[in-house]
A = this chain, B = another copy of it.
């Protein structure tokens, strides 16, 4: 039974998941991944956050580009463009194998959970990685230009339209992935870690599932989140921009508010140390440490801080 449950979105969160996999015994770690960004493209089922997480856990992620697989080539994409196909969503030759094989397995009846576990095993990943649900949940970004499907907002419009609200279609009725529910109900669960992913785009779809929210409220295991902000800015992605658009302060306290009252502890970056008291004032503990994860050592170090905090709780 899993002792640590990590809630994980895309690239930033995946780094901490990889760090946790380095310091938590593989049988004790369950990584639950956002599927609100999933969509079908060219007939292929694309699960951006699952893939980012798998690639990071397997050490196959491209560190320079910040997404996709390392040692990637783009001949498929070039030829697709020459044939008149769409090129707005970049699919590398190596990455494409994941999508095509997922599509083939799904078509033959395998669930997204099954396929994700098969992919994880094939990539040599020791811990459990599961989608938050096998039912479709779709994040819709309500902007000043109207509602946009997630990829339309994120890739198609490069996050430019101002966000007014987020909707998670299907989340209310989606069944929480059973391994996640089991972990949450288990007396052995020692911590729930909310990885430094975008609270609205990556963690929001998970918390929108009533079963997850309820289990977190009832559970006795501490919920510890790592703020995705460093010096009031996101390392990557539109977190700070969205906070401004939603009239939230782009501070650690602003992040704490996203997860309260579920949150026990927020880990904030050293550059935001001055905001520690503001976090405490929100009603949760605060830990100050370096949260940037440029390499494996940094990921491991941050994961150790998180696990030490849990142990000392």
Contact = CB atoms under 8 A, between A and B. Distances in A.
A63 B173 CA distance: 55
A122 B76 contact: no
Interface residues of A, number: 33
A43 interface: yes
Given A43-B107, A73-B75, A75-B93, A84 B100 contact: no
A80 B93 contact: no
A85 interface: yes
Interface in A99-127: 100-101, 103-104, 107, 118-119, 122-123
A281 interface: no
B100 A43 contact: yes
Nearest to A95: B79
A293 interface: no
Interface string A82-104: 11110000001111111011011
Contacts of A149: none
A311 interface: no
Interface string A236-249: 00000000000000
A266 to B, nearest CB: 37
Interface in A40-96: 42-44, 69, 71-73, 75-80, 82-85, 92-96
Contacts of A76: 76, 93-94, 96-97, 100
A120 to B, nearest CB: 10
Given A83-B122, A119-B83, A122-B84, A75 B104 contact: no
Contacts of A69: 79
Contacts of A84: 101, 118, 122
A73 B97 CA distance: 13
Contacts of A96: 76, 79, 93, 96
Nearest to A41: B104
B97 A79 contact: yes
B42 A82 contact: no
A199 B101 CA distance: 35
B75 A122 contact: no
Given A73-B75, A79-B94, 16 more contacts: A42-B103, A42-B104, A43-B43, A43-B100, A43-B103, A71-B75, A76-B94, A76-B96, A79-B97, A80-B100, A83-B101, A83-B118, A83-B123, A84-B118, A85-B101, A93-B93
